[in-house]
Amino acid sequence: MIVFVGCAAALRAQDKLPPPPVDTNTSPYHLALLAYKDGRYENARKAIDAAEKAAPDDVPTEILKARILTEQLDFADGAALLKKVIASNGGYDAQFALGDLYLRQHNFSGAVQAYNLCLAQKPNDPGLLLNLIYALIGSDDYVTAGKYFSQLKPFDPDYPSYYFAKAALAQASGKGTEIDEDLETVRTIYGSTTANRYLRTYLQVFIGSARNFTASRAEPPSTNAPPATAGKTP
């Protein structure tokens, strides 16, 4: 069993969210967003309900509410809300949030489908590619996961996606030593705050998952080959 330093802090929410609809620190949306990022989901739910009442059908509000519902493990209501937003407005943020909901639910095929729809808009987004790789590994599609891994690059100044994807592929093949090395590299390059934020999703998908990766699975592609140069993130 791998012991990760800072796992408690890692359980804080990621912040892939659209900007608040009202630029004020006292708006219900802003209060909900702060509580969400701090992991206070009950407080976040109360604040976002107030924001929704003040601005019905506001897209950023509905996306944030769906993410809060995801953290409360209310997958059915969260998915229904996001599908309503997508049907009415489309949009990258809602589709990405739906993929994240499915990933958290371990509905890997649903996550792959949602993330693939996002690729049309942002094919080089390192955060999107990382979560898509997670979902593909969860679906046992190592070939496609390896293809997208080759688009990530080490030493990206903003995203540690390369190292977490490499660790995920190592996790799938039972190479625990490589996982420790990759995640320690992230802490060294990007700092503990960023490492913990990305570690949260990694833990939920692999360490906290009931899935049991064994040697009987198809061998994942090698992560030793130099990655292809990715285009600039939009």
Q: For residues 153 and 125, give the distance between their C-alpha atoms in angstroms, rounded to a whole number.
A: 12
> Mean pLDDT over all residues of the chain?
82
Q: Are 29 and 59 in contact (CB under 8 A)?
A: no
- Count Cβ atoms below 10 Å from residue 139 Cβ, excluding itself: 16
d(CA 69, CA 165): 26
Backbone φ/ψ region at 220: left (φ over 0), alpha (ψ -120 to 50), beta: beta
Give the pLDDT score at 139: 96
pLDDT digits (tens, 9 = 90+) for 203-231: 988 875 434 333 333 344 444 433 333 33
Spell out the domain ranges in the chain.
111-234
pLDDT, residue 24, reads 52
> pLDDT tens across 15-34, in order?
556 665 545 568 999 999 99
The CA distance from 147 to 189, in Å, is 25
Give, in degrees to the nearest 5, the angle at Cα 80 between 87 and 68: 115
5-9, 132-136, 226-230: which has the minimum mean pLDDT? 226-230
Q: What is the pLDDT of residues 66-99, one digit of tens each?
A: 999 999 999 999 999 999 999 998 789 999 999 9
For domain 111-234, the CATH class is mainly alpha
- pLDDT confidence band for 2 (50 / 70 / 90): very low
